[in-house]
Structure 1
Amino acid sequence: MRKSTDTLDDEVNKSKALETKLTESKINRNYWKISFLLLIGIILGFSLFIGIRVSEPQKVNLPKVNETTTTEPTFQIQLNKTQVNDIISYYLNDFLKDSGIKYQFYLEKNALLNGTFKVLGHDMQFYLYFDPFVMENGDIQLKATSLSIGSLPLPITQVMKYVASDYEIPKWVDVQPSSKTIILHLSQFELQNGMKLAADKMNIVDDDIRFNIFLPLDKQNREKGE
């Protein structure tokens, strides 16, 4: 009878041990299941966060760039009379290469226009002197002050009328005989690379000549504007 009781107790203990083992196994399975689901949730959440941040536009305070030529000069250049004369000579030689009339414009103590006109079939050389002034918009005004033409007494206005009618001059140069002035509309003149310039200072006496340089429109904006 004792043996039978011991056997029953052993069976009960085994059953309890098995139940305990099954319970622990179930708990372990639930633990790994929860851990796996939690890991998946973290991965999905992190992926979603990265996706939103990547597609979200960055709020960066970039400098504003004008789509037109800048209103403020990009930089300034300082030249002397020799440098200016070299530039003018190069430009006029290129501009007048197919023209039958040649003339020169250069700086000495004043601005000087040198050319010729015909009198009774003969070429007569003249020297027309100007005082240069910088205008508010960066253009240059040349005010005629004197005329040298040998012993022939001709008024300044007469020579300037001849220049305006018979000389081939750039479109941005405006000859005004009645007021004895020539306006250099630098605002209408464009360098080959698209840059523009404006006069800032014209001190011929102290050999101090300064121009402000402006960046051009970029290529894309140029194509849109055409």
Structure 2
Amino acid sequence: MIVKESFINSIKKMTTWHRRFILLALINGVLIVTLFVFLLLTPPVSDALPDPTYQEELGAKFTVETTKSDLNDLINTYINQVLKTNQANFDVIVDNDIQLNGELYAFGVPIPLRVTMDPVVMDNGDIVLKMNTLSLGLLDLPRGRILHYINRQVETPDWLYFDSENEQIYLAVTSIEIDSNLRFRVDALDLSTDSIIFTFTVPKSGVDTTTNE
């Protein structure tokens, strides 16, 4: 009885700010636990991946060699256009691996996201990003489940595929439509030696003259 009265008196002595802070902490804790349970109960499901068979495209070809610094600038210029969502924000760092840092919002609460990936160039010129590390806040969950959750939260273009079961992302860059009807493939992406080479193809039928600038 004495302990109960002491507890009640302690609550009464708290300022409004203290009570609101404790309430907010409790709400955030409940939301994080809810997200944790949701992820545990949701098995990872992969997108249907495209056929990686190499297809030679007729036309004039131009080889372009670039650097990690230029690639980094290019990715961060377009990432917000590619990943269309109000539920997340990301930054990419291209170094000895590819790092993606940012936040996902669950129930209005920002949760830090950090991913490190190794790029692998496919024979057809597409890229597979293999997960090295992937963390979502302090949640200790399998990477495949986190990838599956990200896939549900973020609207992606039709050339980006989440292979959650194999813990990787498939970038079908050969399917990307570029202005003037250009197509491109990746020939080399070796971050350790800064060797990044693309081949652009102007189709034999020529450029698309109807494309607006």
TMscore range, shorter length: 0.5 to 0.7
**8 Å Cα contact 2:184/2:200 also seen in 1:** yes
Match of 1:44 in 2: none
The answer as to 2:173 corresponding to 1:186 is yes
Residues 207 and 131 from structure 1, CA distance in 2 versus in 1: closer, same or farther, beyond 3 angstroms?
Answer: same
- Distance between the aligned counterparts of 1:219 and 1:207, measured in 2? 31
Identity %: 26
Q: Match of 1:215, SS?
A: strand
> What letter matches 2:149 in structure 1?
Y
Match of 2:95 in 1: 108
Q: Which has the higher strand share?
A: 2
- Distance between the aligned counterparts of 2:66 and 2:207, measured in 1? 29
Alignment of 1:2-151 (within 5 A): 70-71=57-58, 74-95=61-82, 99-100=85-86, 101-118=88-105, 121-151=108-138
Residues 120 and 109 from structure 1, CA distance in 2 versus in 1: closer, same or farther, beyond 3 angstroms?
Answer: same
Q: Match of 1:136, SS?
A: coil
- Distance between the aligned counterparts of 1:108 and 1:199, measured in 2? 18
Report the CA distance between 1:168 and its aligned residue.
Answer: 1.7
Residues 219 and 76 from structure 1, CA distance in 2 versus in 1: closer, same or farther, beyond 3 angstroms?
Answer: closer
**8 Å Cα contact 2:61/2:200 also seen in 1:** yes
Q: Which has the higher contact order (CA 8 A, sep 6+)?
A: 2
Q: Provide the alpha-carbon RMSD of the alignment.
A: 2.5
Match of 1:161 in 2: 148
Alignment of 1:168-183 (within 5 A): 168-183=155-170
- Distance between the aligned counterparts of 1:117 and 1:91, measured in 2? 18
Task: Tell me the TM-score normalised to structure 2 length.
Answer: 0.63
Residues 134 and 72 from structure 1, CA distance in 2 versus in 1: closer, same or farther, beyond 3 angstroms?
Answer: farther
Residues 72 and 206 from structure 1, CA distance in 2 versus in 1: closer, same or farther, beyond 3 angstroms?
Answer: farther
**8 Å Cα contact 1:73/1:212 also seen in 2:** no
- Distance between the aligned counterparts of 2:60 and 2:140, measured in 1? 45
**Structure 1 runs not aligned, ≥5 long:** 1-68
Residues 71 and 156 from structure 1, CA distance in 2 versus in 1: closer, same or farther, beyond 3 angstroms?
Answer: same
- Distance between the aligned counterparts of 1:146 and 1:95, measured in 2? 22
Residues 147 and 220 from structure 1, CA distance in 2 versus in 1: closer, same or farther, beyond 3 angstroms?
Answer: closer
